Amino acid sequence: MGLAGLARLHGLFAAYKPPGLKWKHLRDTVELQLLKGLNAGKRPASEHRVRFLLGPVEGSEEKELTLTATSVPSLIDHPLVRGPAFTSLKIGMGHRLDAQASGVLVLGVGRGRRLLTDMYNAHLTKDYTVHGLLGKATDDFCEDGRLVEKTTYDHVTREKLERILALIQGSHQKALVMYSNVDLQTQEAYEMAVSGEIRPMNKSPMLITGIRCLQFAPPEFLLVTAFLCLL
């Protein structure tokens, strides 16, 4: 790719992060692969310099030496002397995921990093699929965390779970209106609420905009949730 490739390396792209991998490791891996491509490009031809080399005089039977002007390549830009031409690349992250979470990360390179700010200001929602297990609790809420509590779950039904989810969503909807600084008495606010366009205008905690149960097979259950968070 070389310099010509670097000039074209602008934009946003998505990368999948598997569970168990930290987001920074993914970012560093992407940077390493892009740098390999940039450094694999053909470098400009080496410049030549005139050097005076000591050598025998042509046609002389005696061992006389003389200086002869000779054009030799300059090694100052040789890869073994200077090293790789590109050693770092600025890559921005649109958001982050926990180490145990899996999903799509949006990365920006070059002028594409400016678009990450526009994406943040658009207040887009994030959708998560959550796998849960009834009857157990760990210290970090992850399946591989230290078990701190164990209890029965026979009394938990899908109807009861969905009632709890509705209460959670309702309380977060009220908080969303509060953080949006929108006057609900206006027609514009009503139309925004109906179309789901109400967004927090300033920094806010995590606000759930939608949550529902996709699967309920005790002790396992599956939730899908969408939320907003402006930090």
CB contact burial 105-138 (16+ within 10 A = b; e otherwise): bbbbbbebbebbeeeeeebeeeeeeeeeeeeeee
* Residue from 98, 127, 139, 140 carrying the catalytic annotation: 98
160, 170, 172, 220, 222 from 163: Cα distances, Å: 5, 11, 14, 17, 15
Q: Among 21, 24, 18, 20, which Cα is nearest to 103's? A: 18
Tell me how far apart the alpha carbons of residues 210 and 190 are, in angstroms, rounded to a whole number: 18
Q: Are 195 and 162 in contact (CB under 8 A)?
A: no
98 is catalytic: yes
Q: Are 105 and 14 in contact (CB under 8 A)?
A: yes
Helix (H/G/I), strand (E/B), else coil: 88: coil
| Residue numbers annotated as active site | 98
